[in-house]
Amino acid sequence: MTQYAILLYTPAPADVADMPIEEREAQLRHAAEAEELGGKVVTGFGLAPSTTATTVRGDSVTDGPFIEAREVIAGFYILEARDLDHALQIAKRNPATWRGGVEIRPVLG
């Protein structure tokens, strides 16, 4: 099985704490749903708001996110799936697609 990083986006400046409880619960159910579809969520985490970020670029360190964006990464998980099509099938059911989006990237290594 191939591992994919699933990045969960939400409209800026919202964060996981602003997410309605129904969406947070649906996100937890999604891991069980992934297994029903033959995949496996290896690990995953919600992230603190982007306002808590510290950005490093070269020798420069700044508080906050690097860029202003319409969407921010709210969390991520690692999914094991047969292939990209299988990962897409699972990711399309993720509740993050309701208000934001989901980005899928193969994990290198």
Domains of the chain by range and CATH? 9-106 (3.30.70.1060)
> What percent of the chain shows pLDDT beyond 70?
87
Summarize pLDDT for 44-101 with one digit per residue, the tens: 988 888 788 888 878 888 886 666 667 788 889 999 999 999 999 999 998 888 878 8
User: For residue 20, which phi and psi values (nearest 5 degrees)?
Assistant: -55, 145
Q: Which residues contact 48 (CB under 8 A, 6 or more apart)?
A: 15
Average pLDDT on 4-15 reads 80
Compute the distance between CA of residue 73 and CA of residue 79 in angstroms, rounded to an integer: 17
> What was the pLDDT predicted at 4?
97
Mean pLDDT value across the chain: 85
